[in-house]
Amino acid sequence: MSKRSNPLKVATRRENTREAQPLKRDQYLSFSFKYFKNWDDVGQSLATWGSEDLLGSLVNKLHHISSVNITKLQTEKSITNYKAFPPSNKTHFTCPSDLSEDESWGVIRNIGGQKQRIAGFLRESVFYIVFLDRDHKFWPSDN
């Protein structure tokens, strides 16, 4: 008789039950358009950014951010993390109904100029792009 090994145990994992882990200082970011709002309202669509020659700057910025660790990104102020969606008196945007204001919301800054931003949120090491903000209306400066 041949010896049989024990069958493999099947691990089960419930979705969305894991707590978000803080980013490690040497960690790199990746991006997702899973929750992207591709329409023209306060934010803009990809088509609008394309017609205004902003898509090249967007791709260049995403390439830069994905190749630099989080410590350097914070030092160079490429990313600002607000930790939550801006209060209604501080933004022109509304949190989408399919997302939570309690996500770790923030922006990627300086995309082809001072004003252009990408607004979204961070989960683990993924930045979920939600809005394109050509006019800096997600969380405008007071000055």
Determine, yes or no, domain membership for 49.
yes
For 140, half-sphere exposure in the C-beta direction (CA atoms, 13 angstrom radius) is 13
Determine, yes or no, domain membership for 140.
no
| Lookup: tokens for 44 | 């803009």
The conformational region for residue 89 under phi > 0 = left, psi -120 to 50 = alpha, else beta, is alpha
**Largest Cα–Cα distance in the chain?**
82
Cα-based distances in Å from 57 to 19, 41, 82: 34, 21, 23
Determine, yes or no, domain membership for 57.
yes
Cβ–Cβ < 8 Å for 29, 126: yes
What does the pLDDT read at residue 5? 54
Determine, yes or no, domain membership for 98.
yes
Per-residue pLDDT of the chain (143 residues; tens, 9 = 90+): 555 555 544 444 444 444 445 555 578 999 999 999 999 999 999 999 999 999 999 999 999 999 999 889 888 999 999 999 999 999 999 999 999 999 999 999 989 888 999 999 999 889 999 999 999 999 998 64
Determine, yes or no, domain membership for 10.
no
What does the pLDDT read at residue 17? 44
Range of the domain at 114: 30-133
Determine, yes or no, domain membership for 60.
yes
What does the pLDDT read at residue 70? 85
What does the pLDDT read at residue 24? 58
Instruction: Provide the domain count of the chain.
Output: 1
What does the pLDDT read at residue 16? 46
Cα-based distances in Å from 38 to 25, 27, 120: 32, 28, 13
Determine, yes or no, domain membership for 141.
no
pTM: 0.80
Phi, then psi, of 60 in degrees rounded to 5: -60, -40
Determine, yes or no, domain membership for 48.
yes
What does the pLDDT read at residue 9? 47
